[in-house]
């Protein structure tokens, strides 16, 4: 379209773009489908007024740019291609409108009011740049601001600056009120206005949803991938609260939220952008949004937790380890129960034991029947290819051996605790370090200052590095405590857990608690005879021994 001046004063038949936005909308139940959806009452009223104005201007609205339940003030962190970060308001419909205005798909823009159009000066300036060049009209229902004139642009800038200041004041008041509520541990709705998954409207536990969360946490700690957890949620038939289908993002938000462990959350809505600029909708650092008191202890809410604090901390640690590629994930692996636990014990001619991991496979016998077995990989894959065992027989044998071992080594009445030790030197040092950080910051913020710039910026980084190291140590200890507590379960508890497992992933994790490996040695027996028990050697973990998931041989 170039600099063609369509939409000049008095021109008729213009194709208008309608910009409608409301910051917060309420969720209502759809009377037809029964699903929760946004009411859209606010933008519907705006559409009616904008349509009426377009008709008075002898034109029509040919494209709508709806921004329902969308803030024009809150910024999010966005990663640029060069790796740098910027903070921007995420408004894809607003950006689409500017592009259509620039490309000539619309002849002008009608919006309801200036504070509906923009609350960040940067957004207004992007529109002003286009208007100054293309000279197409921008109209408002509630006023007469002509961005094609210097007076109109000056007035728009003043009004947006005032709207921005109003948003800042409101955000500060709301944040302070939320902080106070969170510090008091109050609010069954977790200082938010919407029901959280796992809880009812009144803040009490929804046992069906809570059971799904607990089971998902066990599966994740057993090695299930986020994608596998998402499939499990979808197969459960339990729907998310404010979406049509479970995604990995929404599930991470549920499991990693500190509120799931009963911890008060402050500023929990902080979100980071992915590489495409879209919001991740998850806690990029769950620990950072968990509220703590001056002594560095978690502020607990008055709602009943779904997970214990240690279980939640172990989840966070495992998720972070996977993100960094430091932990095992069962993505697309371990279809059969003993795959990864079986080791080939055949001795080569040079006296070296093969020690390759035996994998499950499917084959047909001479009669054409489908059979399953475990075998050592062929020589071309690094194995010997000389050992093979029947899968059903070996699976049943190892199951029987497991429960015989548990019965023989049943724990006494003194059960291993999964709770943190308050006398732990690392926990004590962490509390002292966090108190030093708090005092340092208070001294630097005091008037007059009691902490100099040199002290602040030389000592603080060292203390923060120590804090990170201690948190990492305590998270690892939390995982170890959980593992030891699981080893102390009675045979009846393990049997119930085994029988309730609906796939091999959880059962394989149970085996890995007690078994280091199962060595399969060469036997002289051939054919479909019973297993040669003397050629099967389980290697049990020692009493109290616990190997973190990322150290287990898979």
Q: Tell whether 395 and 313 lie within a shared domain.
A: no
Domain count of the fold of the chain? 4
Compute the distance between CA of residue 121 and CA of residue 224 in angstroms, rounded to an integer.
46
Q: Which residues contact 473 (CB under 8 A, 6 or more apart)?
A: 426
Compute the distance between CA of residue 542 and CA of residue 295 in angstroms, rounded to an integer.
38
Flag the least confident range among 106-115, 138-147, 303-312.
138-147
Compute the distance between CA of residue 289 and CA of residue 55 in angstroms, rounded to an integer.
49
- Residue 181 domain flag: no
Q: Tell whether 30 and 103 lie within a shared domain.
A: yes
The confidence score (pLDDT) of residue 344 equals 92
Give the residue with greater pLDDT, 448 vs 98: 98
Alpha helices in 237-308 (DSSP H): 248-256, 286-289
- % of the chain exceeding 70 in pLDDT: 75
Compute the distance between CA of residue 237 and CA of residue 312 in angstroms, rounded to an integer.
24
Range(s) of the domain holding residue 258: 207-323
Q: Which residues contact 268 (CB under 8 A, 6 or more apart)?
A: 190, 257, 258, 259, 283, 289
Alpha helices in 237-341 (DSSP H): 248-256, 286-289, 309-323
The confidence score (pLDDT) of residue 108 equals 93
Q: Tell whether 97 and 110 lie within a shared domain.
A: yes
Residue 489 DSSP class: -
Helix (H, G, I), strand (E, B) or coil at 273: strand
- Residue 420 domain flag: no
The confidence score (pLDDT) of residue 554 equals 28
Q: Tell whether 388 and 537 lie within a shared domain.
A: yes
- Residue 58 domain flag: yes
pLDDT (tens digit per residue) in 16-36: 999 988 876 666 777 777 676
Contact 85, 77 (CB under 8 A): yes
Give the number of other Cβ atoms within 10 Å of residue 464's Cβ: 13
Q: Which residues contact 281 (CB under 8 A, 6 or more apart)?
A: 249, 250, 253, 271
Compute the distance between CA of residue 75 and CA of residue 416 in angstroms, rounded to an integer.
46
Compute the distance between CA of residue 383 and CA of residue 333 in angstroms, rounded to an integer.
19
The confidence score (pLDDT) of residue 173 equals 64
Res. 264 pLDDT band, cuts 50 70 90:
confident
Task: At 431, give phi and psi (nearest 5°).
Answer: -60, -40
Q: Tell whether 405 and 438 lie within a shared domain.
A: no
Q: Which residues contact 264 (CB under 8 A, 6 or more apart)?
A: 182, 183, 185, 190, 191, 258, 290, 291, 298, 299, 300, 301
- Of 129, 149, 173, the position where a domain reaches its end is 173
Q: Tell whether 121 and 256 lie within a shared domain.
A: no
pLDDT greater than 70 at residue 266: no
- Of 149, 173, 197, the position where a domain reaches its end is 173
Q: Please give the distance of CA 322 from its chain centroid, rounded to a whole number.
A: 12
- Residue 237 domain flag: yes
Give the number of other Cβ atoms within 10 Å of residue 42's Cβ: 20
Q: Which residue has the tokens 């809410």?
A: 301
The confidence score (pLDDT) of residue 296 equals 66
Q: Which residues contact 56 (CB under 8 A, 6 or more apart)?
A: none
Compute the distance between CA of residue 397 and CA of residue 462 in angstroms, rounded to an integer.
55
Kindly report the CATH number assigned to the domain that includes residue 100: 3.40.50.1390
Q: Tell whether 313 and 358 lie within a shared domain.
A: no
Q: Tell whether 24 and 160 lie within a shared domain.
A: yes
Helix (H, G, I), strand (E, B) or coil at 181: helix
Kindly report the CATH number assigned to the domain that includes residue 259: 3.90.1750.20
Give the residue with greater pLDDT, 214 vs 481: 214
Q: Tell whether 214 and 270 lie within a shared domain.
A: yes
| Sheet arrangement for strand 138-140 | 60-68, 15-22, 108-111, 138-140
pLDDT (tens digit per residue) in 459-509: 888 888 888 888 878 877 776 665 555 555 778 888 888 887 766 777 887
Of 537, 533, 488, give the one whose Cα is nearest residue 514.
488
Q: Tell whether 245 and 270 lie within a shared domain.
A: yes
User: For residue 292, what are its two tokens?
Assistant: 């703590």
pLDDT greater than 80 at residue 432: yes
Alpha helices in 109-206 (DSSP H): 114-117, 121-134, 150-183
Q: Tell whether 64 and 123 lie within a shared domain.
A: yes
Give the residue with greater pLDDT, 491 vs 212: 212
- Of 289, 323, 357, the position where a domain reaches its end is 323
- Residue 247 domain flag: yes
Span 36-65, average pLDDT: 86
Q: Cα dihedral angle (132, 137, 140, 143), rounded to 10 degrees?
A: 80
Flag the least confident range among 50-54, 175-179, 244-248.
175-179
Query: Is the whole model's pTM more than 0.85, yes or no?
Result: no
Q: Tell whether 67 and 211 lie within a shared domain.
A: no
């Amino acid at each position: 379209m170039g600099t063609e001046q369509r939409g000049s004063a008095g021109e008729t038949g213009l194709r208008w773009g309608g910009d409608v936005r409301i910051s917060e909308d309420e969720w209502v139940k759809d009377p037809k489908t029964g699903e929760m959806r946004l009411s859209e009452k606010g933008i519907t009223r705006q559409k009616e007024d904008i349509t009426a104005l377009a008709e008075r201007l002898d034109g029509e609205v040919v494209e709508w740019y709806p921004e329902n339940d969308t803030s024009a003030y809150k910024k999010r962190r966005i990663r640029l291609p060069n790796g740098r970060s910027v903070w921007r308001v995420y408004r894809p419909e607003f950006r689409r409108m500017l592009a259509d205005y620039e490309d000539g798909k619309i002849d002008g823009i009608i919006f309801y009011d200036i504070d509906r159009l923009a609350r960040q000066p940067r957004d207004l300036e992007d529109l002003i740049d286009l208007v100054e060049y293309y000279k197409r009209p921008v109209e408002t229902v509630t006023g007469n601001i002509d961005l094609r004139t210097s007076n109109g642009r000056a007035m728009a800038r003043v009004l947006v600056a005032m709207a921005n200041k109003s948003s800042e004041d409101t955000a500060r008041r709301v944040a302070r009120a939320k902080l106070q509520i969170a510090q008091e541990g109050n609010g069954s709705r977790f200082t938010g206005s919407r029901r959280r998954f796992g809880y009812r409207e009144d803040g009490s536990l929804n046992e069906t949803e809570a059971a799904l969360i607990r089971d998902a946490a066990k599966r994740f700690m057993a090695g299930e991938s986020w994608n596998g957890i998402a499939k499990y949620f979808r197969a459960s038939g339990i729907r998310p609260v404010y979406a049509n289908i479970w995604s990995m993002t929404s599930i991470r938000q549920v499991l990693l939220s500190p509120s799931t462990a009963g911890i008060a959350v402050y500023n929990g809505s902080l979100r980071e952008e992915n590489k495409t600029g879209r919001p991740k909708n998850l806690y990029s650092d769950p620990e950072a949004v968990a509220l703590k008191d001056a002594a560095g202890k978690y502020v607990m809410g008055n709602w009943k937790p779904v997970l214990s604090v240690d279980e939640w901390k172990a989840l966070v640690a495992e998720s972070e380890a996977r993100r960094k590629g430091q932990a095992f994930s069962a993505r697309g692996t371990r279809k059969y129960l003993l795959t990864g636990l079986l080791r080939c014990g055949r001795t080569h001619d040079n006296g070296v034991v093969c020690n390759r991991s035996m994998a499950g496979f499917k084959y047909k016998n001479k009669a054409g029947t489908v059979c399953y077995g475990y075998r050592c990989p062929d020589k071309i894959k690094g194995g010997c290819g000389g050992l093979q065992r029947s899968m059903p027989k070996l699976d049943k044998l190892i199951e029987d051996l497991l429960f015989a071992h548990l019965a023989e080594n049943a724990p006494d009445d003194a059960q291993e605790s999964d709770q943190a030790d308050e006398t732990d030197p690392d926990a004590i040092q962490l509390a002292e370090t966090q108190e030093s950080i708090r005092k340092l910051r208070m001294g630097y913020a005091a008037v007059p200052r009691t902490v100099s710039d040199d002290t602040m910026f030389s000592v603080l980084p060292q203390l923060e590095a120590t804090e990170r190291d201690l948190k990492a140590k305590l998270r690892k200890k939390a995982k170890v405590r959980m593992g030891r507590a699981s080893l102390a379960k009675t045979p009846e508890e393990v049997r119930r857990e085994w029988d309730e497992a609906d796939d091999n992933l959880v059962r394989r994790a149970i085996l890995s608690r007690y078994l280091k490996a199962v060595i399969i040695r060469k036997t002289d027996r051939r054919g479909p005879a019973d297993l040669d028990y003397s050629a099967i050697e389980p290697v049990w973990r020692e009493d109290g021994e616990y190997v973190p998931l990322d150290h287990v041989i898979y």
